[in-house]
């Protein structure tokens, strides 16, 4: 099974001089080469965390787009990473996070692992495999970086072209694993322009999510009674449940052959990560999936047993490590955010 695709992060995917390398021919497979196909794939295990950490100290410019300087011909052109960035505690990006593991799996199945340093920074010079069926999209324009020969993608650019580097990414911290929820392009708009930093498309509350580990509670303090959705619970959902539980679908921006609707060339696939459940407003949303559920569907009837509400039961970290929820586990019953939601449901889930 081939692996693929990437997803989002704070990563900064820089570039680099690559050995030309033999371009292995990989058969197109939708399940492996699309965001939808890899939506809920668990993070690879069995490797040494941090095995691909780049050498150096690298504590400067946390949160900035490393690629601005660490790019061929740039201010730090002597250190051109393949991937680099900053990881944060949560999507609000208030505090950086050290000792988080950033895991990538490329299209050939190679696992790359980096751990964040005391500034939250990470970087690697490890090579990333090219997706032979890569398409580079910018705006509505798409550059097909392959031709087809008997149904097999034959790349038209060298494997050193960072636009073809594709991977899926996860961030692991303690017992939590966040997988990046959208598929983002690596590399600049052309083979020669500066590589796009992951922090460009995965900034704090950006639509594509952040690179976050999420150990801390969202609310530092909350009242003993009368919690409201708007004031207390929405910030938790915005912090931890977006970008998945938002109205409607997300359009994949990176494109591989399988990300393009075959019936309408040029149309990017949309992936609904929300399962039709929008937690960004009390009443939910009418956009997107056929079956839509709102806050009321998960709170009404749970006043006397709030722990059984799917909002909590479905998202609880399992001691077995089993993942029962598409978005993974988020909390234990002792965590502040969990307790706040439990109290709010018990009080009648006030708007
Ligand atoms: C504003 C420009 C700029 C940005 C942004 C930047 N760097 Fe650097 N970085 C430099 C310069 C300049 C050097 C020194 C280059 C040299 O000595 O040739 C350097 C060197 C490094 C080195 C090698 C020296 C050391 O500290 O061990 C690492 C590692 C590094 N940077 C990591 C990062 C990471 C990770 C990011 C993004 C979070 C980043 N840098 C963002 C300018 C920048
Ligand atoms: C990475 C994307 C992602 C994130 C982040 C995420 N979810 Fe989900 N969620 C899903 C997917 C996919 C499904 C559908 C599959 C499933 O039921 O697990 C889902 C389903 C659910 C359901 C539906 C259960 C049912 O009975 O229908 C609930 C409730 C839920 N999520 C709550 C949450 C809460 C609360 C958060 C934040 C603490 C959260 N999710 C964060 C992806 C995500």
Domain range annotation of the chain = 229-346
CA 172 to chain centre: 12
pLDDT tens digits for range 78-103: 998 888 888 887 776 778 889 999 99
Q: Average pLDDT per run of 10 along the chain, which is 351 residues long?
A: 28 30 43 65 90 96 84 87 84 81 86 94 89 76 84 86 83 80 56 53 42 69 95 90 75 66 61 79 71 85 97 88 76 93 98 95
Q: How far is ligand 2, taken at its centre, from the CA of residue 295, in Å?
A: 12
C-beta separation of 106 from 128 below 8 A: yes
Task: List, in order, residues 6 or more apart from 265 with CB less than 8 Å away.
Answer: none
**Shortest-distance atom of ligand 2 to CA 40:** 12
The residue whose CA has the least distance to atom 39 of ligand 1 is 66
Angstrom distance (rounded) from CA 9 to CA 161: 20
CA angle 7, 293, 243 (to 5 degrees): 20
pLDDT of 30: 47
Q: How far is ligand 2, taken at its centre, from the CA of residue 297, in Å?
A: 13
Measured in degrees and rounded to the nearest 5, phi and psi for residue 106 equal: -90, 180
pLDDT of 143: 82
pLDDT of 205: 43
């Amino acid at each position: 099974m081939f692996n693929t695709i990437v997803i989002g992060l704070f990563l900064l995917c820089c570039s680099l001089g690559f050995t030309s390398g033999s371009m292995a021919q990989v058969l197109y497979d939708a399940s492996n080469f699309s965001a939808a196909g890899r939506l809920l794939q668990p993070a690879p295990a069995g490797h040494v965390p941090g095995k691909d950490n780049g050498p150096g100290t690298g504590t400067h410019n946390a949160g900035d787009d490393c690629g601005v300087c660490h790019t061929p011909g740039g201010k730090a052109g002597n250190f051109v990473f393949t991937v680099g960035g900053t990881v944060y505690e949560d999507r609000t990006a208030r505090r950086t996070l050290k000792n988080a593991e950033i895991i990538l799996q490329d299209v050939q199945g190679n696992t790359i692992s980096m751990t964040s340093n005391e500034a939250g920074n990470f970087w690697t010079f490890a090579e990333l495999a090219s997706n032979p069926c890569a398409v580079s999209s910018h705006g509505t324009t798409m550059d097909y970086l392959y031709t087809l020969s008997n149904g097999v993608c034959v790349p038209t650019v060298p494997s050193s072209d960072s636009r073809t580097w594709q991977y899926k990414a996860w961030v692991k911290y303690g017992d939590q694993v966040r997988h990046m929820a959208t598929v983002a392009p690596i590399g600049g708009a052309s083979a020669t322009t500066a590589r796009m930093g992951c922090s460009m498309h995965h900034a704090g509350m950006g639509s594509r999510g952040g690179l976050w580990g999420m150990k801390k509670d969202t609310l530092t303090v909350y009242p003993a009674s009368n919690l409201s959705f708007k004031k207390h619970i929405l910030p938790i959902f915005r912090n931890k449940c977006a970008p998945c539980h938002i109205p409607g679908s997300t359009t994949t921006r990176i494109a591989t052959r399988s990300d393009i609707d075959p019936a309408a060339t040029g149309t990017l696939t949309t992936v609904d990560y929300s399962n039709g459940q929008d937690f960004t407003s009390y009443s939910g949303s009418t956009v997107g999936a056929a079956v839509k559920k709102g806050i009321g569907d998960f709170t009404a009837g749970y006043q006397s047993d709030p722990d059984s509400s799917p909002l909590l039961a479905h998202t609880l970290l399992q001691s077995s490590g089993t993942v029962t929820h598409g978005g993974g586990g988020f909390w234990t019953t002792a965590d502040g955010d969990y307790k706040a939601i439990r109290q709010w449901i018990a009080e009648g889930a006030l708007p």
